[in-house]
Amino acid sequence: MSPAPGDDQTVTTVTVRTEYTLCPGTESLRAVTAVGHVDGEPDETKRRVAYFTETVGDQAVVPGDRLIAIDAGASSPLMVFVPILARLFLALDRGGVDIGWSGYVVGSDIVSKMLHSIAPLVGARSLAEVDVTAPEPGFSEPRGMKVFLVTEPDPGGLAKLLGVVPDGSLIALLVPHIEASHTPINFYETIHKKSLTLLGQEAHQTGSLQKAVRFATTRLDGFAADYPVLDSSSTEKLAEATTGAILRWT
């Protein structure tokens, strides 16, 4: 048991032996999601889980309540998408987003690539990337709720995004966490007055978790073929142009 930052309560942490990790880039190899087995448990009861992590290595220590139980027979490479899918489904459910929604991706990493690939499978009519650093970001089709999926943990970019999105938009953070920003944000003017819905760090609902696991198991068959898989025992090096990789640690 260890104290949670800024809280008197305690959280239970567990060690997970990582098998596969989905990374957003090849320079720092900072992990987005991973899948593995909970360490220290008897073999017959050892849990297989998916989780968010900031650590790339053969082991990771994560809060126990952030683990997503997955079926022992599920395909490991595909399961690295489960934490992202769970947060996506939670955002769509909480935002009351109907089939045929249009959305924007804020980011250009491997998670963005994955969202563009599955967009038609999750009821999206269109999904486009938007550059919030541009002087005048363009948002086409102004009718209906706009959904913004943030895939890069850039607090400065988030502050900029909140200032330029159309009123009534839904902003979902599909990243492990957003660090504190030094950019001041006026909650009333930026979020409340514009009727924005901002979904970030919150406990996943059971329905969203189950939907994510079921989706990855039944709808993503063959999907990982577009993503490079690297075995840690291999001497092969990632090409500089590679945008991301699923890494297997042995």
Structural domain spans, the chain:
2-81+220-248, 83-199
The overall average pLDDT reported for the chain is 77
Q: Looking up tokens 């999105």, which residue turns up?
A: 165
Range list of H helices, the chain:
76-79, 82-94, 110-118, 155-164, 187, 206-218
Crossing angle of helices 110-118 and 82-94, rounded to 10°: 60
Q: What is the pLDDT of residue 149?
A: 92
Does pTM top 0.85 for this prediction? no
Tell me the sheet residues that pair with 205: none
Q: Which CATH architecture has domain 2-81+220-248?
A: Alpha-Beta Complex (3.90)
**Percent of all residues in the chain with a pLDDT value above 90, rounded to a whole number:** 6
Residue 145 and residue 165 in contact, taking contact as beta carbons nearer than 8 Å:
no
Q: What is the pLDDT of residue 153?
A: 66
Q: What is the pLDDT of residue 31?
A: 76
How many CA atoms lie less than 13 Å away from 54 in the CB half-sphere? 7
DSSP 57: S
Give, for 15, the enclosing helix (H) or strand (E): strand 13-23
Residue type, 149: L
Same fold, 2-81+220-248 and 83-199: no
pLDDT in tens, 51-82: 988 777 778 888 888 889 988 778 778 888 89
Which residues lie below 8 Å from residue 95, measured CB to CB, with a gap of 6+? Answer: 145, 147, 170, 172, 197, 199
Q: What is the pLDDT of residue 238?
A: 54
Residue 49 pLDDT grade (very low, low, confident, very high; cuts 50, 70, 90): very high
**pLDDT tops 50 at residue 87:** yes
Q: What is the pLDDT of residue 228?
A: 60
Q: Tokens standing for 235?
A: 């001497």
Residue type, 241: A
Please tell us whether the domain made up of 83-199 is placed in CATH 3.40.50.720: yes
Q: What is the pLDDT of residue 206?
A: 72
Q: What is the pLDDT of residue 15?
A: 93
Q: Looking up tokens 């920003």, which residue turns up?
A: 181
- Residues 170-192: what's their mean pLDDT? 74
Residue 66 and residue 11 in contact, taking contact as beta carbons nearer than 8 Å:
no
Rounded to whole angstroms, how far apart are CA atoms 213 and 68? 9
